[in-house]
Chain A
């Protein structure tokens, strides 16, 4: 289930310790700090490896996350808004990452633009509760999904390159 590239991606992401969800008060704050630490480290590593591919931020409670992710194809950058809620039962259940603007454009998606994670990600997450966090969901859930779906969407002409977005602050 876990291939070499996944292992490599995994090795770069720090694991979390606190098993707590948004209903758990102070423990959730602790968990949230761990989430941010892990995410910051992951993004920094990505930048160093010249493989920067997303930004995320959350509301104050850490229950709703939003940001951007991008994918480079044939030297062109395709950028998408990404969002998700932290489910009540997090981290037992993984977040359902959504790219609303692609809703209805690919069959590998559920309503509201939630990406299909059933096969490649959910079992992996279930085996690693509570040590996996949002950074893992991005690396092992969204990353592989983009890598498969975006080139396909581009080749079918469903996703086209937007000139304006190409020089956005995401590349800074």
Chain B
């Protein structure tokens, strides 16, 4: 009897609270930081004064590390996943004065995230991308930031995501310069992988293990280095017997340290790649328990499951063959796995232990690395099931109705 009245009252109360929230929000996030936020800086200066946020970065030029640091402003980087690794990655690039960032995440900030860096308790409940944009623009208003709050793995968002990478470049309106994948699941990694294979986009994969004590980054140049679908993901061995790993009651652990280290590796490699200094490893692993950092080169798999990867492999080989003189040397390198650096005398050994079914698909891995799982040489079914579905005369609608009627 009272319910219409009650609903009315509740609606009024909701309105009231909404207005209150609006006031609070505008006084907190918009008005205040806008007043405190520094103005935009038109050109990066090397001048060493307290008020120049770029003086220490521009000093890299004087030190002879980077030729032309201010080029950083020309680059657009997309970061997929603004969690423990992605948020720190975004902050580092923002502080470095990157030209443009495009952020993707569909998650909200939770108090359970507070063991990681970047996000703060008062941001709990906000979308990760919104919270990140606020903080990042306060840190450096010169960076152009675009944010998308959605799940890239669903059909509804996939095309939009792809277009963002394809047309998001600050300078050219073409492809972004680099994609950094900081997601925490296989589905999203594969989605980034397939888009990048389709549009030939260079990207870095990053990851932290679920037990929080190892991590990795991997450079993927479609056609040139292994893509994420070329082989099962690599895992840095932690010398923990998987069987003794206690999984009771938890899915994942995380440490701010490991995530910060991996984000550091990721951004360091991104800067080296973009600004063209130092060497960029195709794979860099991190084992926190042993203080072990394996690196290795990863060749693309000629039998890769993704047809766009195969197309990119063919076009890379074509580009190589069309390149005069020097490429001959490069082509030779192609035939064997080479390490860009090998300061610790890491040697490759044949994986004799590989079982029969995996022999054909297990590449030789640097010691201390293993694959997350093995694939049968020919994808045969591993257990009892023999029967396949038969072709049916029934239409999809009929089948749907039949299912509903069960």
Residue ranges of A at the interface with B (Cβ–Cβ < 8 Å): 1-2, 6-8, 10-17, 22-23, 29, 32-34, 36-40, 43-44, 47, 55-58, 61-63, 85-89, 92-94, 96, 106-111, 116, 118-119, 122-124, 126-129, 131
Q: Are B381 and A33 in contact (CB under 8 A)?
A: no
Please tell me which stretch of B243-251, B257-265, B329-337 contacts chain A, meaning at least 4 of its Cβ atoms lie within 8 angstroms of it.
B243-251
Q: Are B400 and A57 in contact (CB under 8 A)?
A: yes
CA distance A124 to B168 in the complex (A): 37
The reply to whether the CB of B373 lies closer than 8 angstroms to some CB of chain A is yes
17 residue pairs bridging A and B, Cβ less than 8 Å apart:
A2-B382, A7-B384, A14-B388, A23-B158, A29-B396, A33-B396, A36-B396, A57-B404, A85-B155, A88-B158, A93-B190, A108-B251, A122-B186, A127-B376, A127-B379, A128-B381, A131-B381
B388 partner, pick from A7, A15, A61, A109, beta carbons under 8 A: A15
Chain A nearest CB, measured from B45 CB (Å): 43
Residues of A within 8 A of B158 (CB): 23, 88
Chain B nearest CB, measured from A116 CB (Å): 4
Q: Are B373 and A40 in contact (CB under 8 A)?
A: no
CA distance A106 to B386 in the complex (A): 36
Residues of A within 8 A of B305 (CB): 92, 129
Chain B nearest CB, measured from A25 CB (Å): 13
Chain A nearest CB, measured from B397 CB (Å): 9
Q: Are A17 and B389 in contact (CB under 8 A)?
A: yes
Q: Are A36 and B154 in contact (CB under 8 A)?
A: no
Residue of B nearest to A140 (CB): B383
CA distance A6 to B394 in the complex (A): 30
Q: Is the interface of B mostly helix, strand, loop or mixed?
A: loop
Residues of A within 8 A of B399 (CB): 33, 36-37, 40
Chain A nearest CB, measured from B176 CB (Å): 19
A15 partner, pick from B232, B247, B381, beta carbons under 8 A: B381
Chain A nearest CB, measured from B160 CB (Å): 12
Q: Are B186 and A93 in contact (CB under 8 A)?
A: yes
Q: Are B385 and A119 in contact (CB under 8 A)?
A: no
Residue of B nearest to A19 (CB): B305
Residue of A nearest to B158 (CB): A88
B247 partner, pick from A32, A119, A131, beta carbons under 8 A: A119
Q: Are B389 and A38 in contact (CB under 8 A)?
A: yes
Interface size for chain B: under 10, 10 to 19, 20 to 34, or 35 or more residues?
35 or more
A33 partner, pick from B232, B384, B388, B392, beta carbons under 8 A: B392
Query: Across chains A and B, which 8 residue pairs bring their CB atoms closest together, nearest first?
Result: A11-B384, A36-B399, A123-B373, A116-B251, A93-B187, A7-B384, A88-B158, A2-B383
CA distance A23 to B162 in the complex (A): 13
Q: Digitize B362-385: 1 where CB-to-A-CB distance is under 8 Å, 0 elsewhere.
A: 000000000011011001011111
CA distance A67 to B127 in the complex (A): 28
Q: Are B249 and A32 in contact (CB under 8 A)?
A: no
Known: A40-B403, A88-B154, A126-B232. A14 touches B249 (CB 8 A): no
CA distance A29 to B154 in the complex (A): 17
Q: Are B379 and A129 in contact (CB under 8 A)?
A: yes
CA distance A123 to B403 in the complex (A): 28
Residue of B nearest to A32 (CB): B396
Which of B107, B385, B387, B404 has the largest count of A CB atoms less than 10 A from its CB? B385
Q: Are A13 and B400 in contact (CB under 8 A)?
A: no
CA distance A47 to B402 in the complex (A): 15
Q: Total contacts A to B, CB within 8 angstroms? A: 134
CA distance A122 to B189 in the complex (A): 14
Chain A nearest CB, measured from B386 CB (Å): 8
A89 partner, pick from B190, B384, B396, beta carbons under 8 A: B190
B403 partner, pick from A16, A56, A92, A106, beta carbons under 8 A: A56
The reply to whether the CB of B29 lies closer than 8 angstroms to some CB of chain A is no
Q: Are B251 and A37 in contact (CB under 8 A)?
A: no
CA distance A135 to B229 in the complex (A): 24
B383 partner, pick from A6, A17, A32, beta carbons under 8 A: A6
Residues of A within 8 A of B251 (CB): 107-110, 116, 118
CA distance A47 to B185 in the complex (A): 35
Q: Are A10 and B384 in contact (CB under 8 A)?
A: yes
Chain A nearest CB, measured from B274 CB (Å): 28
The reply to whether the CB of B406 lies closer than 8 angstroms to some CB of chain A is yes
The reply to whether the CB of B191 lies closer than 8 angstroms to some CB of chain A is yes
Known: A39-B403, A63-B155, A88-B158. A96 touches B232 (CB 8 A): no
CA distance A39 to B402 in the complex (A): 10
Residue of A nearest to B395 (CB): A33
Q: Are A7 and B396 in contact (CB under 8 A)?
A: no
Q: Are B155 and A23 in contact (CB under 8 A)?
A: yes
Known: A2-B383, A118-B210. A89 touches B388 (CB 8 A): no
Q: Are A22 and B155 in contact (CB under 8 A)?
A: yes
Residues of B within 8 A of A131 (CB): 379, 381, 385, 388
CA distance A37 to B194 in the complex (A): 29
Q: Are B187 and A128 in contact (CB under 8 A)?
A: no
Chain A nearest CB, measured from B182 CB (Å): 16
Q: Are B392 and A37 in contact (CB under 8 A)?
A: yes
Known: A40-B403, A107-B250. A128 touches B382 (CB 8 A): yes
